[in-house]
Amino acid sequence: MVASSLVRVAWCGALVVATTLGPGGDVHAADLASAADSEIIQTFTDLCLNRFPNEPAFAQGAAARHLQTMPADQVKRYLHDDPGRGWTGTSPSGPYVVTIESPPYHACAVRRMQHPSTAFQTNFQLLIANWAAGQKLSAVPMAPAHQVMNGLSINATMQGINRPDGKPWQRFMALITDYPSGQSEVRLVRQFPPN
């Protein structure tokens, strides 16, 4: 419980830095993106950080958010040939998708179409670093990655989490996929790679 309180404080502090008012106190589009950023990060924190991989806890969180189970063909759209399950949800900033990929890569991800703020990936990294510190774990930043595939531009920031003995344990990723149409998909992932 203490760790999740640290996460909320750290994220709120990051959001305040990212939010600015225009002339006359008007909210800029970037501020609306920051609100959407906050919402998707809070959803990820609740479902993937605080509950996953505990199945009963995750199910309770999914029920509290009124998530709807996706049929297998829709799950395949997100996970391709990897085994797993998926749900859809709606929040004030729009619809989103939650997926759980089954081992060998056990992962929880939250994604949606939105225009992220410029601080989105940095704020997510700060959240994970503070969570890791609260858990007495070390977060290891990994080199950012950029890839262009099938006309899509994908930018990823990643952090590894090591066990107290220093061995790699899990990875956190924030991915932004830019489509030629001008739309963007944000995806936050917690992944336990195969042992």
| Alpha carbon distance 85, 101 (integer Å) | 7
What is the token pair recorded at 181?
A: 């149409």
Structure-token match 């595939």, residue found = 149
Q: Is 73 buried (19+), middle (13-18) or exposed (0-12) by CB count in 10 A?
A: exposed
Residue 55 scores a pLDDT above 80: yes
pLDDT of residue 32: 54
**pTM listed for this prediction:** 0.83
How many domains does the structure of the chain reveal?
Answer: 1
Domain limits for position 164: 2-192
- Residue 63 has a pLDDT of 97
Cβ-count burial 107-131 (b if 16+ within 10 Å, e if not) = bbbbbbebbbbebbbebbbbbbbbb
For residue range 28-45, list pLDDT tens digits in order. 445 555 889 999 999 999
Which residue, 177, 24, 20, is CA-closest to 114? Answer: 177
Segment 135-185, tens digit of pLDDT? 888 899 899 999 999 889 999 999 999 888 888 899 999 999 999 988 999
Strands 68-69 and 138-149: unpaired
Tell me how far apart the alpha carbons of residues 188 and 195 are, in angstroms, rounded to a whole number: 22
